[in-house]
Amino acid sequence: MPTPSYKILIAGGGIAGLSVAIELALKGHSITVLERTPTIQSVGGSQLIPPQACKVIDSWGCHDRFLKADEIREKLVIFRYADGSLIGINDLRWQKDVYGYQTLNIQREVYQRLLYDRALELGVKVKFGCKVDIIDQAIPSITLADGEVLKADLIIGADGVRSKVRTTVLGEVVEPRVSDTAYICRLPGDLVRADPLTEPLMSQPDPQGWLAPGRHAVASPGRHGAIYGIILVIDKEHDRHPPIPKDARDWKTRGDIKELRDMYQDHEPRVRRILDMVKEDDCRMWRISMLPDLKSWVSESGKVVLLGDAAHAMHPYLAQGSAMATEDATALGECLSRATEVSQVPLAMKAYESIRKPRAEKLKAASEFSGKEKHYPDGEKQRKRDELMMKGAETQLTVPKKGEKNMHPTAWVHGHDVRAHANAELDRIFGEDGTVSLGNGVPESFGEGLIV
Ligand SMILES: Cc1cc2nc3c(=O)[nH]c(=O)nc-3n(C[C@H](O)[C@H](O)[C@H](O)COP(=O)(O)OP(=O)(O)OC[C@H]3O[C@@H](n4cnc5c(N)ncnc54)[C@H](O)[C@@H]3O)c2cc1C
């Protein structure tokens, strides 16, 4: 039986909201996205889009456009902070052979714009300047800040880490846990190119990383050489972890570049020179937040659900936050396709939760672990980490050959086929005997080497 076209409201027009809008519009539903900002907003640095997310984006008919906007070259290059010696090279070229897609590196504003354009092509209505104020989960309905009331068959909360919809779903406020601090600095590409010390960072345009005790930095040329962007992270346990203004959340708070330079004094000359070039106004800061595992992603009525950072905001250290939103969107679309009448929507949403929650929470834990691994103090653990990375770089030992079992530490992350997995689970849930028996497709534990 064909799925009816449901009326769906999405709170939030970030990467998660636009992703689920595309997935659901392709399945014939009527979609309105409500975004509080007056225009499409996108601050932040570049985003890595891992292979499993690229596969989904391809199914949305816009991977070619993403490929055109891609700024990655072939690999990620990782240096030791103190002397700039090479610790590892994460060659990404093999991903295409093994997973069918290679990690992309795209400026966040471009990423969001590409999703937005595709959503509009598919007939999605995106309403800016619409702040979601009250959600009635029983009807379900949304009351906007201007008093307008909108009703739907399903409401999706894609309103980010400080989600209002989440409070409705859970019946209580769950505050995100404030963690490490990130600084983002953008410099003119010409400036970095003009200095012989930093010029190689521009002419060899693979993304670069530096690992240090309690800190790490990632950088890459962007906008096809027009800019050089660097994100610097200070672990919350680091003794120089700066006091941060309470409202430092949205990349708009100015960071103290002098303090940042001081905190990176023990770094190799290239990093110090880059920081010397940053103008005071070009340094912004952000408090990285993560959510605890939530008791539920679905409201009591089953008609209001969470997706993206609203459900599982995580540390960015495996570059998986947006990718999890992409996977959520796909699974939610497949689940809704099994609801042949509106009364089945709540069961479909429960299925969505049970398919997605274990994996997203595993990635959340793995991302936190990856940060700890990156921030090891100098010593035994750090030496082992560096040896492991160097071994991989020199021999590509961890790269699976065609037909071999993929033993790469991130295979469970990048090799996940969310659409196939969701459908296998749904066949069981909506199968003839109606058994609700849910596997989650994630390993019990993950090991060392979770470095992106
Ligand atoms: C430093 C850093 C680097 C990262 N790098 C990567 C990476 O390389 N790869 C990756 O996959 N992920 C990465 N991430 C994570 C990724 O950016 C996020 O997981 C992702 O952007 C979350 O998208 P979202 O749409 O769920 O939330 P958001 O981007 O927060 O979007 C939420 C939207 O909802 C709107 N909104 C909020 N409240 C309301 C309301 N009441 N009414 C209407 N609208 C509302 C907001 O204005 C916003 O537009 C990184 C994160 C950080 C901090």
Give tens-digit pLDDT for 241-287: 776 666 665 667 888 999 999 999 999 999 999 999 999 989 998 88
- What one-letter code names the amino acid at 321? G
pTM: 0.90
Q: What 3-state DSSP class applies to 317?
A: helix
Query: What pLDDT sits at residue 90?
Result: 82
User: What tens digit of pLDDT does each residue of 203-251 get?
Assistant: 877 889 999 999 999 998 887 788 999 999 999 888 777 766 666 656 6
Q: Is the pLDDT of residue 441 over 70?
A: no
* Ligand 1 atom nearest to 164, measured from its CA: 41
The answer for residues whose C-beta is within 8 angstroms of residue 201's C-beta and 6 or more apart is 192, 208, 219, 221, 228, 270, 274
Give the residue-averaged pLDDT of 116-131: 98
CA of 206 from ligand 1 middle (Å) equals 25
- Is any ligand 1 atom within 6 A of the Cβ of residue 312? no
C-alpha–C-alpha distance, residues 72 and 218, integer Å = 13
Give the residue-averaged pLDDT of 437-444: 47
Query: What pLDDT sits at residue 433?
Result: 52
Residues in the chain: 452
Q: What 3-state DSSP class applies to 364?
A: helix
Give the residue-averaged pLDDT of 98-105: 90
Q: What percent of the chain has pLDDT over 90?
A: 70
Compute the mean pLDDT over every residue in the chain, rounded to the nearest whole number. 89
- Is any ligand 1 atom within 6 A of the Cβ of residue 355? no
Looking at 206-320, list the stretches that DSSP marks H as alpha helix, in order from N- to C-terminal side.
257-263, 269-277, 309-312
CB 112 within 8 Å of CB 14: yes
- Is any ligand 1 atom within 6 A of the Cβ of residue 37? yes
C-alpha–C-alpha distance, residues 156 and 305, integer Å = 5
Confidence band, pLDDT 50/70/90 cuts, at residue 25: very high
Query: What pLDDT sits at residue 92?
Result: 82
User: What tens digit of pLDDT does each residue of 37-63 get?
Assistant: 999 876 667 788 999 999 999 999 999
Omega before 207 within 30 of 0, i.e. cis: no
Give the residue-averaged pLDDT of 383-402: 73
Q: Is the pLDDT of residue 364 over 50?
A: yes
Take atom 48 of ligand 1 and give the residue whose Cα is closest: 14
Query: What pLDDT sits at residue 55?
Result: 97
Most confident listed range (40-49, 298-307, 440-449): 298-307
- Is any ligand 1 atom within 6 A of the Cβ of residue 160? yes
Take atom 3 of ligand 1 and give the residue whose Cα is closest: 316
Closest listed residue to residue 228, CA positions, set 183, 257, 185: 185
Most confident listed range (82-91, 123-132, 398-407): 123-132
Give the residue-averaged pLDDT of 400-419: 80
Confidence band, pLDDT 50/70/90 cuts, at residue 91: confident
Identify the structural domains of the chain with CATH numbers, from first to last: 7-71+104-175+292-369+403-429 (3.50.50.60), 177-290 (3.30.9.30)
CA of 430 from ligand 1 middle (Å) equals 32
Give the residue-averaged pLDDT of 283-292: 91
Lowest mean pLDDT among 92-96, 199-203, 376-380, 443-447: 443-447
CA of 182 from ligand 1 middle (Å) equals 15
